[in-house]
Amino acid sequence: MSASSSSQALEYLEGLPLSTHKKLYEQPSTVLAVFRCMLPHLAKSIVMAMLYMPSSFPTADLDAWFKTSARKEKEHATFTLDRLHIVTPQRQDDGSLSYTMNPGFQRSLRQALEGSGTHRSFGVPATREESGSNRMTTEQLDEYSRSQWEGILYYLVSGAAGLSKDAIDRAEVGPGTKKLLHAGDLVRTVHGSPRITKDGFSFVLQETNAQVWSLLIVYLKMVNDLGMSETEVLAFLFMLGSLELGQDYSTSTLSATQLQMLDDLSAMGLVYRSSKNAQTFYPTRLATSLTSDSGSAMSASSNDIAQANQGNAGPSASANKGFIIIETNYRLYAYTNSLIQIAILSLFTKLQHRFPNLVSGKLTKESVHKAVQSGITSAQIISYLTTYAHPQMQKTVSYIPPTVTDQIRLWEYEGERVETTAGYLMREFGSDAEYRDVLNYASALGVLVWQNDANRCFFVSQVEQISAYLRKKKENRDVARTR
C-alpha cells in the first residue's frame, strides 16, 4: 500500500518511547513540524485550544466540545495525541480525569508561533561572506535533487527491468546510499547486480515525498549503529523541512552529527553543498517539502521530481505529472521518454511499441501475474496508475476504468487467497454489554479488523489504547465500588 508520506513518518514517530519524545519536543522547529504534518485535523484544533489554556482540560469539557456524531473523529484525534505523548489524560487530585499537554511541547509550540526564544532551530541563514558570489538558483537546485534522486530510483529498477550492465553502472549512487538501500532491504545483490525486492517495488511505486520518508526512516534506524543520536537526527530533519528553498544556510552552528548528516543527505539530493568543506548548504525541494503534505497545493510541484527526464525532455518535465492513459480494453499509453518510468511500467505491463515521446503496451494476465509473483500487489499497481493518470483521465470520477481495476484485482486474487494482519485477539468477555462496549470503542479507534458476535471475540491491529481503556473502566468500577 502506498501510504501517504506523513503517515509513514507518523507511524515511526509513534513507535518512539516517551523519553525520546520529551527530548524531541525541546526543539520548536520539530514541534512545529510534528504539529503541521503529523497530527489529524481535529487534533490540531485540540492542541491549539489547549496551548494557551491556563489549566488542564477536563475530559468532560472536551466531550462536550465535540458533537456526539463526531465520536469516531474525536477518538482518533485523542488516540494520536496520546501515542505521541503530546496530550495525555491524567487523573486530577479530585478524582476527575482531564487532559494535560506535555509542558515541553507546549513551550516549544508557543515559541514557534511567537517567534520567541533563542533556540536558533529554524536554520541560521548564511552571511554575505559565507555565501560568496556564486549562489544557486532554485532551478539549479531542482535539477541537482532530481538527478540525485533519479539515480537512486534508476539503480533500484535497473536490475529488474533487464537493463544492461553498463546501464546500471551509469546510475551514480554513492556507496553510503547503496548501503542504505541494502539495509532497508529494498535491493539485494544477486550475481553482482542489484535485484529489487518486494519492499523495493512498493518503494518505487510511491510518491516522491513518501519515498524520501521511507529512505529516511531506514536511515534513522541505522543511525544508532553509526554512533549518532536518533533525536538529533530527527530534529535536524524537521529543521530541514522548515527551511526556505533557494536560501543558503550556514554550517557554522551545526554539530558534528549534523555535519555528518549533511554529507549523507547531499548524496541523496536533499541538500546541496558546493564542496565537502563548504561553509554553507542549500536545502533542495526534496528537503523543504518533507513536512508538507501531498494533499496541499503548495507541494504539488514537488511530485514533479518523480518525472525522470533523461536530459532531453527539458522544461516540459515540470509540467506533466500524469502521463498514463489506460483504456477499457487494457491498452496502456504512456507519454514519457524517461527510462525509469518505462522500467517501472515494464514491471507489470507488456510493452509493445516505443515512440520518441510515447510507449504503448497492454496489461495482460501474464504481465500482472509476473508482477504479483515478484511481490507487487494489485493495490500498488492501481495506486501507481491513479497517481500518474493523464489529466484527460482525471476528468472522470474514478480515474482508471473500473473494469481494469477489477480485473487487476481478480488476476491477483487468482494467486492469493489469504491476507494476514498482525494483531491481537480479544475474547472471553464477561457480558454481552461489556463486549459491545469494547467493540464499539475499537471500531471508533479504527483498529478493528474482524469480529464474531456469536463467540464474543474480535481482532484488533493495535492493543495499547484498548488495554488502557479497559484499565480505565476497571478503575472506574473500583472507584464506584469503594464509595
Partner 1 sequence: MNGIDGSDRHIKTEEAPPPSLLAIVLDTNPHAWAHLSSTLPISAALANILVFINAHLASGNGNEVAVIASHSHKTTFLYPTPARPQPKSRHGTANGLVEMNGSGNDPETHMAESPNKYRPFAVVENAILRNFAKLLNETSEGHVQATPTTLIGGALSLALTHINKQTILHAPTAASAESTSLAALADSENAHVDRVPLTSRILIVSVSGDLANQYIPVMNSIFAAQRKRIPIDILKLAGDTVLLQQASDATGGVYMKPERPEGLLQYLMMAFLPDVTARASLVVPSAGGVDFRAACFCHRNVVDIGFVCSVCLSIFCNPDLPDDLCLTCGSYLSLRSAVTNPPALIPRKKKKKKKLGTDSATPGANTPVGSGTPMHP
* Run of H or E including 351: strand 350-355
Cell of 415: 494467486
Least distance from C-beta 60 to partner 1, angstroms?
13
Instruction: Give 319 or 454: the residue with its C-beta nearer to partner 1.
Output: 319
- Selected binder of partner 1 within 12, 20, 51, 140 (CB under 8 A): 51
Whole-angstrom distance, CA of residue 91 vs CA of residue 333? 61
Of 16-24, 50-58, 130-138, 443-451, which part binds partner 1 (CB under 8 A)?
50-58
Q: Mapping DSSP to helix (H, G, I), strand (E, B) and coil, where does residue 483 land?
A: coil
- Selected binder of partner 1 within 20, 45, 59, 374 (CB under 8 A): 45
| 136 to 175: interface string for partner 1, x by CB under 8 A | ----------------------------------------
Least distance from C-beta 147 to partner 1, angstroms?
22
Whole-angstrom distance, CA of residue 464 vs CA of residue 43? 19
- Selected binder of partner 1 within 15, 41, 162, 225 (CB under 8 A): 41
Does residue number 60 form part of the binding site for partner 1 (CB under 8 A)?
A: no
Least distance from C-beta 36 to partner 1, angstroms?
5
Instruction: Give 7 or 274: the residue with its C-beta nearer to partner 1.
Output: 7
Which residues, in sequence order, are CB contacts of 136 under 8 Å at separation 6+? Answer: 246, 248, 272, 282
Cell of 297: 497545493
- Selected binder of partner 1 within 22, 59, 88, 125 (CB under 8 A): 125
Whole-angstrom distance, CA of residue 365 vs CA of residue 382? 15
- Selected binder of partner 1 within 10, 32, 153, 308 (CB under 8 A): 32
Of 120-128, 177-185, 264-272, 430-438, which part binds partner 1 (CB under 8 A)?
120-128
75 CB neighbour count, 10 Å cutoff: 19
Total residues in contact with partner 1, by rule CB under 8 A: 70
Whole-angstrom distance, CA of residue 285 vs CA of residue 61? 42
Instruction: Give 226 or 410: the residue with its C-beta nearer to partner 1.
Output: 410
* Run of H or E including 460: strand 457-460
Least distance from C-beta 192 to partner 1, angstroms?
39
Least distance from C-beta 297 to partner 1, angstroms?
5
Whole-angstrom distance, CA of residue 193 vs CA of residue 40? 42
Does residue number 111 form part of the binding site for partner 1 (CB under 8 A)?
A: yes
Does residue number 36 form part of the binding site for partner 1 (CB under 8 A)?
A: yes
Instruction: Give 148 or 299: the residue with its C-beta nearer to partner 1.
Output: 299
- To 10 degrees, what angle do helices 5-14 and 71-83 make? 60
**How many residues appear in the chain?**
483
Instruction: Give 119 or 474: the residue with its C-beta nearer to partner 1.
Output: 119
Least distance from C-beta 443 to partner 1, angstroms?
17
Instruction: Give 191 or 395: the residue with its C-beta nearer to partner 1.
Output: 395
Does residue number 88 form part of the binding site for partner 1 (CB under 8 A)?
A: no
Q: 125: number of CA atoms within 13 Å, CB side? A: 8
Instruction: Give 111 or 280: the residue with its C-beta nearer to partner 1.
Output: 111
- Residue 190: phi, psi to the nearest 5? -125, 125
- Selected binder of partner 1 within 53, 259, 468, 479 (CB under 8 A): 53
Instruction: Give 74 or 456: the residue with its C-beta nearer to partner 1.
Output: 74
- Selected binder of partner 1 within 20, 98, 294, 374 (CB under 8 A): 294
Cell of 95: 478524582
Task: Using only the alpha carbons of the chain, give its radius of gyration.
Answer: 25
Instruction: Give 100 or 178: the residue with its C-beta nearer to partner 1.
Output: 100
Of 140-148, 295-303, 436-444, 447-455, which part binds partner 1 (CB under 8 A)?
295-303
Cell of 469: 481503556
With cell 469494547, the residue in question is: 438
Does residue number 123 form part of the binding site for partner 1 (CB under 8 A)?
A: yes
DSSP characters over 194-257: EEE-HHHHHHHHS-HHHHHHHHHHHHHHHHTTTT--HHHHHHHHHHHHTSPTT--EESTT--HH
| 306 to 325: interface string for partner 1, x by CB under 8 A | -------------xxxx---
Q: Is 333 left (phi over 0), alpha (psi -120 to 50) or beta?
A: beta
Closest CA to 79 of 35, 36, 39: 39
Whole-angstrom distance, CA of residue 386 vs CA of residue 323? 10
| 394 to 413: interface string for partner 1, x by CB under 8 A | xx-xx---x--xx--xx--x
- Residue 135: phi, psi to the nearest 5? -90, 155
Least distance from C-beta 28 to partner 1, angstroms?
8
Binding region for partner 1 (CB under 8 A): 4, 28-29, 32, 35-37, 41-42, 44-45, 48-49, 51-53, 64-67, 69-70, 73-74, 111-125, 242-244, 247, 253, 292-301, 319-322, 391-392, 394-395, 397-398, 402, 405-406, 409-410, 413
